[in-house]
């Protein structure tokens, strides 16, 4: 029973390393893009976002206020006064939450499905072999 030979034939450590690397990279990119967008917001409620990766999952935690920043809002310029013309004015929309999160969600899915191609596996296997043997 040769443990090293068994590990060489098993792709699961390579795939786990690929998943973890992909999730960490996307978490870093999402945090960077959102930090750029939220830099103009000075309210204390816009503090405390966090991304955590642990092996096979990515957890994003934030206050509920973040979720509603980029929803489209309509408001009446004069309020709901009787007899007004009821023309809606669209408020400014910030694409800091949904667009970034869902865009990276699609990117994560593509990277996990198609990113573990044979050449990537071979490269990671070579790195793994160097650490195990050398």
Residue 5 lies in a domain: no
pLDDT higher than 60, residue 7:
no
Residue 59 lies in a domain: yes
pLDDT higher than 80, residue 43:
no
Which pairs with CB-CB distance under 8 Å and at least 24 residues apart come from 3-10? 4/132, 4/133, 7/128, 7/132, 8/125, 8/129
Count structural domains, the chain.
1
**pLDDT at residue 75 in the model:** 59
Question: Which structural domain, as residue segments, surrounds residue 76?
Answer: 11-133
C-beta of residue 89 within 8 angstroms of C-beta of residue 75: yes
Residue 2 lies in a domain: no
- Between 109 and 45, name the one with better pLDDT: 109
The two three-digit tokens of residue 110, written as one number? 């593509």
- Between 128 and 7, name the one with better pLDDT: 128
C-beta of residue 66 within 8 angstroms of C-beta of residue 49: yes
C-beta of residue 108 within 8 angstroms of C-beta of residue 23: yes
């Amino acid at each position: 029973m040769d443990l090293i030979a068994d590990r060489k034939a098993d792709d699961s450590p390579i795939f786990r390393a690929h998943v973890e690397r992909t999730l960490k990279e996307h978490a870093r990119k999402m945090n960077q893009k959102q930090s750029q967008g939220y830099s103009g917001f000075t309210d204390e409620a816009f503090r405390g976002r966090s991304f955590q990766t642990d092996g096979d999952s990515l957890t994003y935690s934030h206050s509920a206020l973040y979720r509603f920043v980029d929803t489209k809002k309509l408001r009446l310029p004069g309020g709901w006064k009787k007899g007004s013309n009821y023309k809606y004015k669209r408020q400014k929309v910030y694409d800091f939450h949904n667009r970034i999160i869902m865009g990276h969600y699609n990117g994560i899915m593509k990277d996990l499905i198609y990113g573990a191609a044979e050449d990537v596996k071979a490269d990671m296997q070579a790195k793994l072999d160097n650490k195990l043997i050398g």
